[in-house]
Chain A
């Protein structure tokens, strides 16, 4: 009995690995106990279930995405700090190869799939229906399913750390390294299933928002009157729809190789590993633009608002968004120029990759000329937007350098590449999402985030960023490869690595300031009583903060691109105030527990597949099927908000 228990602990809980694991186990256990205790003590279980776990309200789903993204930013950030600590000195022994390999794998996977993706989805959800004058997204139930698939996919990925072992084949997880032969542990299965489950949710989100934007806009809002953030979501949704199936297939086939003994990507029996590489990057490159375009959209809103000026070259902005999303499908080979494709293939993909810089460059100049002859207020969202410009300009420029195929033979897999993509992904996506978070935070919660702490966070994070990543370009020129857990002293890489590590710590301090800022602002943040704290331009700022659950008491009719700004200038803001005579009962979707249960079922099934335990695997899949069947027979999924309730709410908000 005891022996069996010890065996279990060693095999699955990895207790032989020592204090690091024990500490994490204890910490997780304490956190869970703490959460359960608090919820029980304050009798909040019912509230949690009714208000959050079963909600189909896009605003609440958006908030849950954002909280999850920030938590994952923390987890991925800790991974980054651990890696940088290990690399601070040559020949360091802080981490061994096994742990370092796991950590860089989880860092990359988490940051892209479980931080950047939920962060953009958070903004999709919070902003898009409000910007286009809709009551919710096209498919609110599906939207909740998407969230819970993401959530449980991320959870499945994260528990690998304490149950069975983390994946360690890199976030790209190229076979044959990721095949059973070379990587027998359960970690890789966790990677495949965690991403697969959340990826299904992402596809659903793409479908949902494309349908929402094309079908749910308020009357008068033609495509060319849509705010640029909504345009960027449109472009990103199209790309999700066209890119994610390739990932689904790549992951599914690799999973079959690992659990069903097939030979898609194995070394022997006819497998072809490069097929995985192609499928992965057919998704992987558009994915980069999927996460960066919404950031571009957020910057467009912010730059116009804080320059008190119309966005410059709206037509160019729209066409460049669409152009980027198209070109992004013709560049995937630039991730493996050095895998021996012919010179003709390489040339094509090199020039296509450079061509992405054309519409991107146009966007940068349009942002600059939006500020030109405006009145620039340096509030937090604008600070991040301004910091984005030089950061992304360098990141984009080094991207063009990398696109030069023959030169890429020298940059590929070196720290030059690492510096480049961190510069675009942090400078573009993280800066953009933080700017968006600061910008739309009052709309979500009804108060602003503290400006002073936010500035500390801004300067620490920005200074830290350059200190961390500029040396890495140089390290690339010194021949340092990525994914080395240790390096010798005689190559001269030591000093720059130390500098880079210091920069990473500075960024970590910046993140802590953001945490402090959020905590402080919950009590002391400036309350937003007008609903329009930044002197905004688009429809969401015509609503009170936070927004009532039905969004618009009366659906507005749109006559201009910067509708709210124009009305304010013409002194006609009451046009968007509801009139009691026009109010009608509002049909809203009912809350449902099914999306949460679908997520749980997928989690159970995924967990079963990770360990080839067929009972939970089949049980989980049956759970999914049962939920779907139940949903098919559910006809009574809407309810009506009576006029009196709408009126009472609007009066209490001072709008009637």
Chain B
């Protein structure tokens, strides 16, 4: 009788604690659990699935532990059984080899599925947007190869449009993370990495560098502002007309270590992103360069031109 009661009690307690965690997840501060786009949502589903699956092991462990310690504690006249030599049970051991294997099997299946799925753009019939991101000490430079504009420490994106972020670093490696839109990806010198994100609703989404880069790292936050496509187009035009351009000299200035606020540029040296990747070692990863140059449709060296891989880019 006691046995059943205590087991039930601990089960309910754990369930309560778990649901409390999820309910609190609805508070707007829990940005990871408040996805604003399909990528973040997909990732959250996996989080929930894995949480449920592991609870299938954790809850019995808690229950068993409480029950066993209480029931078999060493006190005079404890009526519970005592079998000091009982140390083997093939059936029991099969159970707890089997259950974790089954859980890992299920979780592994969904992990594989999602891992492959997330390398593709979110399903959409809209033309995707590409934004090239360079992490610097200690600021973020966003470049819009299709629009020719650039921003620092914030970027704007149209809602409902898959955005391909191409990431690199011209400084120690950082990590680009906008929790409400989706998981992070490292920005690394000499590499161009791709991260698909998409915002469903307009809003301002918190982003931050997630890999330590030294003194100013704590101040490397940026906002991703999602707007309806028409408002976005308006914003682009406004930057083009009202801001000044980023020159190569300006970029060298920008590269110097320091913390700064937001800036917008009406233009930037074409191929700046590709050149940065190339100079920092991208030339040794021709495949990656190739992929990105193709994706950019013409920025930098000619796409698909095999010579582009062997010669330094033109300045």
Contacts and interface: CB of A to CB of B under 8 A. Distances in A.
Report, as a range, how many residues of chain A touch the other chain.
35 or more
A430 to B, nearest CB: 19
Interface string A173-214: 011110000110000000000000000000000000000000
B62 A174 contact: no
B186 A309 contact: no
A101 B214 CA distance: 7
Contacts of B55: 397
9 contacts: A175-B172, A309-B84, A312-B88, A343-B115, A351-B112, A358-B100, A373-B82, A409-B43, A413-B175
Interface residues of B, number: 95
Interface string A493-533: 10000000000000000000000000000000000000000
B65 A390 contact: yes
Contact of A478 (B30, B57, B108, B183): B30
A343 B185 CA distance: 13
B73 A308 contact: no
A49 interface: no
Contact of A369 (B92, B110, B281): B92
Nearest to B66: A390
Interface string A379-421: 0000000100110011001101101111111101110000000
B218 A487 contact: yes
Nearest to B57: A361
Contact of A310 (B46, B57, B87): B87
A376 B111 contact: no
A479 B72 contact: no
A316 interface: yes
B166 to A, nearest CB: 11
B173 interface: yes
Interface stretch (A132-140, A263-271, A593-601, A621-629): A263-271
Contacts of B92: 365, 369
A177 B182 CA distance: 26
Contacts of B208: 479, 481
Interface in A254-293: 267-268, 270-274
A346 interface: yes
B246 interface: no
Contact of B24 (A101, A174, A394, A474): A474
Interface stretch (B189-197, B260-268, B293-301): B189-197
Contacts of A316: 93, 97
Interface string B197-222: 00000000010111111111110010
Interface of B: 21, 24-25, 27, 29-33, 40, 42-44, 46-47, 50-51, 53-55, 57-58, 61-62, 64-65, 68-69, 72-74, 78, 80-89, 92-93, 96-97, 99-101, 104, 107-108, 110-112, 114-116, 118-119, 137, 171-173, 175, 177, 179, 182-186, 188-191, 193-194, 206, 208-218, 221, 279-281, 284
A481 B25 contact: no
Contacts of A404: 46-47, 50, 107, 110-111
A355 B101 CA distance: 8
Interface stretch (A1-9, A218-226, A332-340, A548-556): A332-340
B225 to A, nearest CB: 16
B42 A406 contact: yes
A377 B82 CA distance: 13
A35 interface: no
B87 A478 contact: no
A26 interface: no
Q: Which 9 A-B pairs have the closest CB atoms?
A: A409-B183, A177-B172, A492-B29, A397-B54, A310-B87, A483-B212, A365-B96, A413-B210, A484-B218
A361 B54 CA distance: 11
Contacts of B184: 338, 409-410, 412-413
Contacts of B114: 405-406
Given A267-B281, A308-B84, A351-B111, 11 more contacts: A97-B215, A98-B215, A177-B173, A371-B69, A373-B81, A374-B72, A390-B61, A406-B43, A406-B118, A479-B206, A485-B218
A314 interface: yes
A470 B31 CA distance: 17
B206 to A, nearest CB: 6
A105 to B, nearest CB: 9
A401 B188 contact: no
Contact of B84 (A355, A357, A369, A374): A374
A332 to B, nearest CB: 16
A377 B76 CA distance: 12
A368 interface: yes
Interface string A306-320: 011111111010000
